[in-house]
Amino acid sequence: MHAMDESSLRQLLAAVAGGQVDVDAAVSRLRHMPFEDLGFATLDHHRSIRCGWPEVIFCASKTVDQVRTIFSRLAARGHNVLATRASAEQYAAVAEEFPAAAWDHQSRTIHLLQGEQPAPVGHVAIVAAGTSDLPVAEEARVTAAIMGAAVTTHYDVGVAGIHRLLARAQALQDARAVVAVAGMEGALASVVGGLVTAPVIAVPTSVGYGASFGGLSALLTMLNSCATGVSVVNIDNGFAAGHIAAVINRQSVAADKGKG
């Protein structure tokens, strides 16, 4: 089964119109669109056409067999596949069928790249306050990278030693989107927001002592940021931040090309 994004759909319709593909063959290609019912899951095969990126598997609370089946059906469409919050057991099951699938232990992600990959474009910067925040930061990095963004990382640069962050100021100012990941009091996002012109996507993490309330303290700090360029995703949601940053990056690159 070939990938069916907007470009390939246009090619298929043009081939039908030109007589190179008959109607029955086209129907066979489109049979599982816009969705495929697996009983325990309904896969949204139209998402790449609507949103520019296929459905992503959230593995938490799914069984090994469920993850393996969903991964297999998404891969059959020819797309790159990304699974988040995956366990080693879930990866082992996927790897039996897809040896090329990669496992990132720190970010808890599985990804499969299919076909020739375009060169990364633009610049997404991932900033993390401390080493304890890296699992969430790495989830954002993997997500943005698999969506085609050129990514730089700036880790352990929290405000407790603000000189470390200021030393990265120029690199951050070159980014088209910045993801700021922090637990504890979550002040990093506001400081980064005051240094850059690009949008900042803040990610509160559940890192911290008792009064951090599992990331709620960082979340409230980020929501109350005085830096106007800061938006906030949910606690520990590196995937959403990486996805948003990649979309901003892609649109920014496209806008620049349109000016040329």
Name the band, by pLDDT with cuts 50, 70 and 90, for residue 1.
Answer: very low
Describe the chain by its helix, strand, coil percentages, rounded to 5. Answer: 45, 20, 35
* Interval 56-78: pLDDT, tens: 889 999 999 999 999 988 888 77
What proportion of the chain, given as a percentage, has pLDDT over 90? 65
| pLDDT given for residue 33 in this prediction | 61
For the chain, what is the radius of gyration of the CA atoms?
A: 20
- Domains of the chain are 33-112 (no CATH), 121-256 (3.40.50.1970)
- Indicate the SS3 state at residue 244: helix
Q: What are phi and psi of 125, to 5 degrees?
A: -105, 130
| pLDDT given for residue 22 in this prediction | 80
Which has the minimum average pLDDT: 44-53, 78-87, 155-164? 44-53
4 within 8 A of 55, measured Cβ to Cβ:
no
* Interval 209-243: pLDDT, tens: 998 999 999 999 999 999 999 999 999 999 999 99
CA distances from 184 to 36, 168, 172, 216, 231 (A): 42, 21, 22, 9, 18
CA distances from 206 to 15, 126, 182, 201, 224 (A): 52, 18, 9, 17, 18
Whole-prediction pTM: 0.83
User: Nearest Cα to 206, choosing from 215, 196, 193, 197?
Assistant: 215
* Interval 120-139: pLDDT, tens: 999 999 999 999 999 999 99
| pLDDT given for residue 48 in this prediction | 64
| pLDDT given for residue 39 in this prediction | 66
Mean confidence (pLDDT) of the chain:
88
User: What number of residues does the chain have?
Assistant: 260
Q: Using CA atoms, how far apart are residues 134 and 141, in angstroms rounded to an integer?
A: 10
* Interval 145-160: pLDDT, tens: 999 999 999 999 998 8
* Interval 22-47: pLDDT, tens: 877 766 666 556 666 566 676 666 66
Task: Return the structure tokens found at 61.
Answer: 């609370």
| Structure letter (DSSP) for residue 82 | E
β-pairing, 57-58 with 230-232? unpaired
